[in-house]
Homo-oligomer: A and B are copies of this chain.
């Protein structure tokens, strides 16, 4: 099939977690990463030398005839960088869940290449197990990005910008907010001299079960049971911690609303 785009020579713009994740993943499928760009010279040099790739910190020195330019930069840096790349003939993509495709509308061929995983921790995640969500400014761009992504990952999905934002919001719930609950639990236990590792098997099983699609049916606990005695005991324990008590109430209420539990509970 003729895609209209043959992607082989890639330039990565950015020197952070996403760039560090993508460069080896591109190379693993024999793409030629010909240059890295970073606004900060030291970071650009460090990444370039680490990977053995030509690097630059000058936007004017970016090689103009690559097939793919990947903006692996913070959300707020995307529009500025995009503006400076106008006129390029290659395909320019960003890697953000929350930024719409239209941020790249000034570029002839544009798209989104969004690997959904938490980065920056060691060991890095496996790209083949990382879902990649793609979007193209047109059919040829979409086709080219899809076929690239499918060489890198077993799970590729074409999503438009509004679907991707929705996914990003859901990711905030299951990553940022779940991690925050874990951190609050650890703090609570530490404060009482109770070892945090006692929770680990429960955390793992809870998450494994929730990946089984029956997540609605898995809800248990005092909130969905309307178990006022237990809720009262928990809130009593939190009475010196108004912030956490408020969050406990908000989450319990949300459980009850979501499951249409009639709360007879004056504590919440």
Binding site for B on A (CB under 8 A): 75-76, 98, 116-118, 120-121, 125, 129-131, 133, 155, 157, 159, 162-163, 165-189, 192-211, 213, 215-216, 218-224, 227, 229-230, 233-234, 237-238, 243-244, 246-247, 250-251, 254-255, 257-258
Contact at A186–B220, with CB atoms within 8 Å? no
Known A189-B170, A198-B116, A201-B130: A251·B218 in contact at CB below 8 Å: no
Q: Nearest Cβ distance between residue A170 and chain B, in whole angstroms?
A: 4
Contact at B167–A189, with CB atoms within 8 Å? yes
Q: Which residues of chain B are near A243, meaning CB under 8 Å? A: 254, 257-258
Q: Nearest Cβ distance between residue A223 and chain B, in whole angstroms?
A: 7
Give A251 to B243 CA distance when docked, in angstroms. 10
Contact at B171–A202, with CB atoms within 8 Å? yes
Contact at A220–B176, with CB atoms within 8 Å? yes
Known A181-B173, A184-B173, A203-B211: A198·B131 in contact at CB below 8 Å: yes
Q: Nearest Cβ distance between residue A58 and chain B, in whole angstroms?
A: 27
Q: Which residues of chain B are near A251, meaning CB under 8 Å? A: 177, 180, 247, 250
Q: Which residues of chain B are near A173, meaning CB under 8 Å? A: 181-182, 184-185, 188
Contact at B165–A233, with CB atoms within 8 Å? yes
Known A116-B198, A118-B209, A194-B163: A176·B219 in contact at CB below 8 Å: yes
Give A224 to B192 CA distance when docked, in angstroms. 26
Known A166-B237, A250-B247: A180·B258 in contact at CB below 8 Å: yes
Q: Which one of A155, A173, A175, A185 has the greatest number of beta carbons of chain B within 10 Å?
A: A173
Q: Which residues of chain B are near A224, meaning CB under 8 Å? A: 176
Q: Which residues of chain B are near A193, meaning CB under 8 Å? A: 163
Contact at B201–A117, with CB atoms within 8 Å? yes
* Residue among B179, B187, B257, B258 making CB contact with A206, cutoff 8 Å: B179
Q: Which residues of chain B are near A169, meaning CB under 8 Å? A: 188, 234, 237-238
Contact at A227–B75, with CB atoms within 8 Å? yes
Q: Which residues of chain B are near A204, meaning CB under 8 Å? A: 207-208, 211
Q: Nearest Cβ distance between residue A232 and chain B, in whole angstroms?
A: 10
Instruction: List 18 additional A-B contacts (Cβ < 8 Å) besides A118-B218, A177-B251, A180-B255.
Output: A98-B233, A116-B202, A118-B202, A118-B205, A121-B209, A131-B201, A157-B195, A166-B188, A170-B185, A170-B194, A170-B199, A172-B221, A176-B223, A176-B224, A182-B207, A183-B219, A184-B258, A186-B215
Contact at B182–A174, with CB atoms within 8 Å? yes
- A-B pairs, top 10 by smallest CB distance, nearest first, are A176-B221, A170-B185, A182-B210, A207-B207, A250-B250, A166-B192, A200-B211, A173-B185, A131-B198, A173-B181
